[in-house]
Chain A
Amino acid sequence: MPGDILSVDNLRKHFPTKEGVVRAVDGVSFSIAPGETFGLVGESGSGKTTTAQCIIGMYPPTSGDIWFKGERINAAFDRRPKHVKGDLRIVFQDPGSSLNPKRTIKQILSVPLQVHRIGSRRGRLARMKALLDMVELPADEYLYKHPQAIGGGERQMVALARALATNPSLVLLDEPTSALDVSVQAKIINLLIRLQKELDLTYLFITHDLSLMRNIATRVAIMYLGKLCEIAPTAEFFESPVHPYTRMLLSSIPVVSDEEEALKPRKVLSTGEIPSPVNVPPGCGFQSRCPEAADVCRRVDPEMVEVSRSHQVRCHRERRPDRAGHAEASVLHEREERLC
């Protein structure tokens, strides 16, 4: 879509390894509109990080296109124009390893400023303080600390400040809070939401925590074994999940209150584990765990289809006109219960 800030078209990233080709990302397409928080959810190993890393340019994709503000940015970082590097930033999952332990926060923050020639030599110090203020850290104290000397949450805030140093318009957040406690996570999430409003940011937010996604994303995509299963606006996604995997996920979430319990779909017993992305079997990737996999699922990989406007799902079942919508969800559950 022309108005999109980012659009990813049929992105593939395969890693040749000793064991075989790892199809970490295998044909992913989505686009993000300005101001959105696009949530990417999936179990570990499903290819979320790889997707983000292709977008940020850590390595070139095996195939497919990435468009950023109308510019095609398929190359890896060393071939990208500098303005793209400043405009498109990332915050990594592990706050321990994303900050150089041997450098002070001041040194860490000054790198993007120097590289992108932001501010004069003098002005930089002020700018760094402003950045720390922005992420609600007392600047004078934190500027002269080493990353080990501060807590995990604060490190993540510094990482965020560094990402914001170049005034980006799109920030990729790769599980920014999954290593943190809920009380710290809450703070960061609120900070993110506030900054998004203040700075007109667009987020690609990666997480495996669906409850978190419910509270921050405007649109949610579910990823499984390198492919997207379902994309929908948040509300619709949680109210009427279509893909069996989505429902399995939702029903597995431990929740803390009865209201939430009521929102969960009926129990879909989770079985099996996510298969290895090496030598993916033919057919649908989820087929081995799907409670109602049909013959066709084992042979043919389904295509993405629209369930409704802006709600897409990749499941054979959605192809059959007679079984559209939720009608058949109950059938599934019945069968499920018989199995137990």
Chain B
Amino acid sequence: MWQERKADLVATMKLRRQSLAKGWYKYSRNPLSVLGLIVLVLIGTSAGLAPYITPYPAHAGAFTNFREAGQPPSWKHLFGTDRIGRDVFTRVIFGYRFSLLLGVVVLSLGVAPGVVLGLIAGYRRGTWVEIVIMRITDVFLAVPPLVLALAITAMLTPNLLNAMFAIALLWWPWYCRLVFAVASSLRNQFFVREAELCGASRAHILFREILPNCVAPILTKMTLDMGIVILLGASLSFVGLGAQPPTPCLGTMVADGAKRLPGEWWSTIFPALAIVLVILAFNLVGDGLRDVFAVEEV
């Protein structure tokens, strides 16, 4: 008996390992995606270890040094210093923390409700449940997210938390719609029908039969969305509605430095490129994931 269960476990693990290996194989076929992943890992770890690897960790917090303000890039300050004398390189690395945190928090708050609502609406398509959920979704989707995010954050006290809150509030409808589309097409698939006919519970059908089929698009969208959320966060802080000083925040740094163009170009160009890099990396990884999942569908 025990032997049998062990064999079962081993086989299951082996299957899982195999599909992971296969996924990675497909992913690794695209060198750009691999590059994106490497960049992302680099950004992630350096953001995580920022206090230990940056040259002037103090510059991320309460610090001023007007004597060294506005210095051009040099070996001492790779990306130069800003108007208060802080090391731009250090602040860019710390700035990634904010961006990544924003992305992770927004998506983890936004995705779950969106997915659940989308599943329910998709499965119960044609009933009042679907109508209520999808009309509410429509309302949220009726204006571009940045506009609503601006409107909301403009009214709240600007800080990291409120920016996250505002964006998260806007994010679920996208997942709701995505999952709705998948779920309502899967609803008539025979394997769902079969589970119903067999007497399986709603929860089983929603979360065991339909949800696994939504995972691929959700994951892909999530990686691509990380880029979009980071962009949105950067945009909000560019307008001055993001994290508050002295928190290093890429959008704020760009906005701040832009006032000093073309003279102190380094204080805006480097943070701007940093934003581009992280979004690019997420896009590349997202495309890689899409490849992985797309081939599987065939």
Contacts and interface: CB of A to CB of B under 8 A. Distances in A.
User: Do A and B share a complex?
Assistant: yes
Interface of A: 56-58, 77-78, 82, 85-86, 89-90, 92, 94, 97-104, 106-108, 111-112, 115-116, 122, 125-126, 140, 143-146, 148, 159, 162, 166
B189 interface: yes
Contacts of A86: 198-199
Contact of A100 (B14, B19, B191, B196): B191
Interface in B147-191: 189-191
Q: Is the interface of B mostly helix, strand, loop or mixed?
A: helix
B212 A102 contact: yes
16 contacts: A56-B197, A57-B197, A77-B196, A85-B198, A89-B198, A90-B194, A97-B189, A98-B190, A100-B191, A100-B209, A111-B198, A140-B7, A144-B11, A144-B14, A145-B15, A146-B19
B191 A98 contact: yes
A237 to B, nearest CB: 30
Contacts of A140: 7, 11
B244 interface: no
A90 B197 contact: yes
A164 B296 CA distance: 29
A156 B190 CA distance: 13
Contacts of A77: 196-197, 199
Contact of A122 (B1, B14, B195): B1
B197 A58 contact: yes
Contact of A148 (B8, B12, B191, B296): B296
A97 B190 contact: yes
B15 A104 contact: yes
Contact of B12 (A58, A92, A144, A146): A144
B15 A125 contact: no
B108 interface: no
B208 interface: yes
B294 interface: no
Interface of B: 1, 4-5, 7-8, 11-12, 14-15, 19, 189-201, 204, 208-209, 212-213, 215, 296
B11 A82 contact: no
Given A104-B15, A125-B8, A144-B11, A92 B190 contact: yes
Contacts of A94: 190
Given A90-B197, A103-B212, A143 B204 contact: no
A89 B197 CA distance: 8
Nearest to B296: A148
The 7 closest A-B pairs by CB, nearest first: A102-B212, A98-B190, A100-B191, A92-B190, A85-B199, A144-B11, A144-B15
Contacts of A103: 208-209, 212
Given A101-B213, A102-B213, A115-B199, A143 B194 contact: no
A94 B188 CA distance: 12
A64 B230 CA distance: 59
Given A115-B199, A148-B296, 9 more contacts: A57-B197, A77-B197, A90-B197, A94-B190, A104-B12, A111-B208, A140-B11, A144-B12, A159-B194
A82 B191 contact: no
Nearest to B200: A115
Given A102-B213, A148-B296, A97 B198 contact: no
B50 to A, nearest CB: 38
Contacts of A159: 194
B197 A85 contact: yes
B297 to A, nearest CB: 8
Given A103-B212, A148-B296, A116 B190 contact: no
A200 B292 CA distance: 46
B243 to A, nearest CB: 39
B127 to A, nearest CB: 13
Contact of A99 (B7, B191, B296): B191
A143 B197 contact: no
Given A100-B212, A103-B208, A58 B199 contact: no
A104 B200 CA distance: 17
Nearest to B7: A140
A95 to B, nearest CB: 9
A137 to B, nearest CB: 15
B215 to A, nearest CB: 7
A115 B202 CA distance: 12
Contacts of A82: 199
A78 B199 CA distance: 8
A213 to B, nearest CB: 23
Contacts of A78: 196
Contacts of A102: 212-213, 215
A166 B213 contact: no
A329 to B, nearest CB: 41
Q: Which of B11, B19, B192, B296 has the most CB of A within 10 A?
A: B11
A168 to B, nearest CB: 10
B296 A116 contact: no
